[in-house]
Amino acid sequence: MSTQVVSIDPMLCTGCRRCADVCPVDAIVGRRNEPQTIDASRCVLCGQCVLTCAAFMSPFDDGAELLPEMLRKRGLAEDDTAPLFAANFRIDRKKVAGMLTDPEKTTMVQCAPAVRVSIAEEFGKAPGTLSPGKLAASLRRLGFDYVYDTIFAADVTVMEESSELLQRMESGGTLPMFTSCCPGWVRHVETAWPDLIPHLSSCKSPQQMAGALFKSYGADQVGKTAGEIASVAVMPCTAKKGEAERPEMQNDGFANVDAVLTVTELAAMLKEKGIDLDSLPEEEFDAPLGLYSGAGTIFGASGGVMEAALRTAIAVTSGKDVDESGVAFVESEEEPGVFRASVEVAGKTVRGVIVSGLAHVAPVLEAVRSGNADFEFVEVMCCEGGCVAGGGQPKLLPGVDVADAVARRRKGLHDHDRELPVRAAHRNPAVKALYENFLQKPLGERSHKLLHTHYGKEAGRHE
Amino acid sequence: MHARLSPFILVSASKCIGCRVCELACSAAHQRGGVSVGSLQVPLSPRLYLTSVNNVRVPIGCRHCEDAPCAEVCPNNAIIHTTEGVQVEEDRCVGCKTCLAVCPVGAMEMAQVWKRGKPAMRRVVDPSAPGGVRYEPASLASKCDLCRGREGGPACVDACPEKALTLVDPIEVKRRRNFEAALALSRTYEEV
């Protein structure tokens, strides 16, 4: 697939430049009152422009008669009543619908943590309404053969990433280590800070780890081959569409993830089929790749990856098996969006930094570049607040308090973490079984092949 | 004749950036839904219109004229001047477009009207159909109603990121202008 993931329709753009105000990497180019374009060499595909844009095709506009054609070009039905906005992301609904009806394919779907605290908004519910059971049920109603969960893979990411951090600390590897879960962040390092690429963890993101496991371990479990599996991801994020297409994100010639739907795309597909999320029963995700802990759950909120990794790192190195790390990260007044704390792990001090929002990341990276970094582990989420605020999340109407909605979605994830019986990744029985029966150990040969990758300066792939 | 002049929404063209948030907020305020665009149940239909000419971008909407030509010419008495401004009674509108023709600012539109999630229908004579009539979605007169009944007033005013829209109460404006003039005059008098 080569169509641009995020774009601005010159037919609809009025040149108000509100998108430029929210772009964390100054990728929106154009003069006021004229249609804007996206500088592909800087754009990280985060979709914040898509969430902000209000320039839509009104039925009273000159050119409104072109609407059916414009809908078709965007991959939507001609009678779709959803408004068309200037800033938009690529719609992959048709591709997924094709997989669902392909008799040759066994479909496996994964759902990112931040989806279950936002999708109900598209059905009239308040922001932060937690609906994992209904989400699983809705995916089953759409026709997916196996309804799995990205959170399972987030738990695997904790295993791999915390091991990698400990290994880098023991062996004198490149520090500080940067998380690599957020594709917008990874892309920003590649495009704007390429000299810091070695700091990125070699872990694939949970989306990609899940996909790699679907087509190996998962395929074995259901008696299929990798080629017979169609792997679909439901994400709160537009950059995940780009991530899935990276050439590094495949094994044995098969892409780990074949198609990515955003929350809004999934909601639209459900409505098209007459599936009302609210009236569905609560159902479980399928085992084993849909079983998850509280640790993986909070990956959807900024700070969550760090907290999840600490829970396991503390347990593995000290034997103190905690539900919560107890580490409080503090934001300083001089550095908005940057949170710091230190913690003892294996007799060593690990100093962690959490950055919420790419717009706040530059001073932290300057410190790393100049050799003045006084920290070992950095978690960065491109969108302020984390994936709960991603560009694939429901687009909020004017007048709705965005910060409040994001806070409610975050709270939804933290509530979910607290109510789960298992709250640390290494205690997830499905993760234990995965290592016992398949991967052997974190950073092992199979993990390395399936779950790790390399990042590089491959800018410009966003045609 | 009403005792009070009708309020109306005044736009500052110098502040407007043409983002269309006003149109989006307006459309959403007139239909059912939740917090997100995807939760809206019917297509968007704004009641003010971002208009560009040369380098000017500004939304144009109803001024709630005191001697409203639309109300004057409506052959079916569907447009009436109320204490809440000039209002269209959709149930009486037949879509004749006379109001649209006479409105001095172009505030009137013929829009598809949705009621309880379904398009409002109109009866059309059809000799070929049983009973000689058929029903089809109606396009009816639609314009700014100052978000009648909305807590917090007009949604467009609330939503504008540039604060370019204001709900103007002409009586208040007159009173304020008079006070300002009086104070200015008093200062002039003291200085002289």
Q: DSSP 3-state assignment of A64? A: helix
Using a CB–CB cutoff of 8 Å, tell me whether A332 touches chain B: no
Phi, psi of B176 (to 5 degrees): -65, -45
Q: How far is A119 from chain B (nearest CA, A)?
A: 10
Q: Which of B13, B186, B44, B37 is nearest to B109 (CA)?
A: B44
Q: For A84, which DSSP code? A: P
Q: Does B13 touch chain A (CB under 8 A)?
A: no
Shortest CB distance from A399 goes to which of B23, B55, B155? B155
Please state the length of chain B: 192
Burial level of A322, CB count in 10 A (0-12/13-18/19+)?
middle
A164: annotated active-site residue: yes
Buried b / exposed e across B127-155, counting CB within 10 Å, b at 16+?
eeeeeeeeeeebbbbbbbbbbeeeeeebb
Active-site residue, from A121, A122, A160, A243: A243
- Closest CA–CA distance from residue B192 to any residue of chain A (Å): 48
What is the reported pLDDT for B189? 67
Among B20, B27, B47, most A C-beta atoms within 10 A, so best to mutate, is B20
Of B35, B40, B55, the CB nearest to A33: B55
For B91, which DSSP code?
Answer: T
Q: Does A248 qualify as catalytic in the annotation?
A: yes
A125 labelled catalytic: no
Q: Give residue for tokens 């899935």.
A: A244
With CA atoms as reference, report the closest residue to A255 among A269, A270, A267, A243: A243
Asked if B161 contacts A21 with a C-beta cutoff of 8 angstroms, the reply is no
Sequence-separated (6 or more) residues with CB below 8 Å from residue A327: A307, A310, A341, A343, A352
Write out the two tokens for A105.
């394919």
| Residue A53 · residue A86 · CB < 8 Å | yes
Q: Which residue of A has its CA nearest to B106?
A: A60
Using alpha carbons only, give the angle A128, B34, B49 rounded to the nearest 5 degrees: 130
Which position has the token pair 């695997």?
A156
Q: Name the token pair of A392.
A: 């694939």
Which H or E run contains A109? Answer: strand A106-111
Please give the pLDDT value at position B2.
Answer: 56
So what's the pLDDT on residue A46?
Answer: 98
Q: What angle do CA A172, A175, A176 make, to 5 degrees?
A: 155
Cα separation, A390 vs A265, whole angstroms? 14
Catalytic residue (choose from A105, A134, A240, A395): A240
CB atoms within 10 A of CB A84: 20
Measure the CA–CA gap between B127 and B134, rounded to whole angstroms.
9
Distance CA A35, CA A15 (A): 5
Say if B138 is an interface residue toward chain A (CB within 8 Å): no
Subunit contact B25:A59, Cβ cutoff 8 A: no
Give the pLDDT confidence score for residue A319 in this predicted structure.
Answer: 85
C-alpha dihedral, B14 to B15 to B21 to B25, nearest 10°: -100
8 Å CB contact between A122 and A160: no
B129 pLDDT higher than 90: no
Q: Which residues lie below 8 Å from residue A263, measured CB to CB, with a gap of 6+?
A: A115, A118, A119, A122, A234, A235, A236, A392, A393, A394
Separation of CA A238 from chain center: 8
DSSP A85: B
A54 and B44 within 8 Å at the Cβ level: the answer is no
Contacts of A267 in chain B (CB under 8 A): 38
A58 is catalytic: no
- The answer to whether residue B112 neighbours chain A at the CB level (below 8 Å) is yes
Q: CA of A81: which chain B residue's CA is closest?
A: B43
Residue A176: asked if its preceding bond is cis (omega within 30°), the reply is yes
B69: exposed, middle or buried (Cβ count in 10 Å: 0-12, 13-18, 19+): middle
| Number of helices (H), then strands (E), in chain B | 5, 12
Token couple for A22: 């929210």
Q: How high is the pLDDT of residue A459?
A: 44
Cβ–Cβ under 8 Å, residues A289 and A149: yes
In single-letter form, the type of residue at position B166 comes to T
Asked if B25's CB is within 8 angstroms of A399's CB, the reply is yes
Q: What is the ipTM of this complex?
A: 0.93
Distance between CA A394 and CA A113 in Å, rounded?
15
List the structure tokens of B78: 């569907």
| Whole-number pLDDT of residue A281 | 97
Q: Which amino acid is at A367?
A: A
Stretches in chain A below the pLDDT threshold 70: 1-2, 457-463
Q: Give exposure, A291-301, as e/b (b: 16+ Cβ within 10 Å).
A: bbbbbbbbbbb
A184, A243, A174, A237: which is closest to A209 by C-alpha? A243
Query: Above 80 in pLDDT, residue B95?
Result: yes
pLDDT at B11 over 50: yes
Q: What is the number of residues in chain A?
A: 463
Contact by Cβ (8 Å): A5, A37: no
Handedness of CA A140, A145, A150, A154 (dihedral sign): positive
What integer pLDDT is reported at residue B187 of this predicted model?
Answer: 83
Residue type, A369: R
- pTM value is 0.94
Q: Which residue of A has its CA nearest to B51?
A: A61
Burial readout A192-204 (b: 16 or more C-beta within 10 A, e: otherwise):
bbeebbebbbbbb
Cβ(A354)–Cβ(A385) below 8 Å = no
Rg of chain B (C-alpha set): 20
CA–CA gap between residue A240 and residue A238 (Å, rounded): 5
B18 and A14 within 8 Å at the Cβ level: the answer is yes
CB A234 within 8 A of CB A267: no
